[in-house]
Structure 1
């Protein structure tokens, strides 16, 4: 089994794709007006409009406000990324902070409220884990 991608479902696909193109510094590949993908190394972020949900039938679970998923991206310099990101999002949850497990993390939201974590390993143990 190979993990292929994460998909975000949004009611404003153009806004979301434009946000992720800026946040991830990569151009999207549009397959239809309701579906695009952004590929980074071995990871693909798929974005579909709410119209694409009709393709999966009527028994989809409803998102609960008591659960959350964080998409995490390892970056070379999280402080540098913060300077770039702070102008494209209205919601920074946590400015770059060194976490107890050795990563320096920036937590922010996309336009739909999905959480993203850009992080850089900084402790010797964290650097070793990701090398």
Structure 2
């Protein structure tokens, strides 16, 4: 659900020519796609995208987005934003299954804006392959 929302926001931004972002809220248990509110002064406010893929989604009961880290930043954030070309800052989103203790990682590519979910082992192998 996290990767599909990220990929939808990327696609929306690239096809509409307007920025879009995925906002994680309610302690990482909900997400939604937001776009600029064209009716606000200067278009700086964001509004929920009301399409079926963009609307508010609750994560499964035992799943929570624990943290979002943008590459090159020590500050946490609660959203991933895509520019009008569909590009985003490189980021890693830690997703935890609180029932089973499993961790997964959604990785956002800065150039393509695409995201993919990895297990801890897959993420380590992927990083090791890049560094070799």
Which category of TM-score, normalised to the shorter sequence, fits these structures?
A: under 0.3
* TM-score, structure 1 as length reference: 0.27
Question: Larger radius of gyration, structure 1 or 2?
Answer: 1
* TM-score, structure 2 as length reference: 0.27
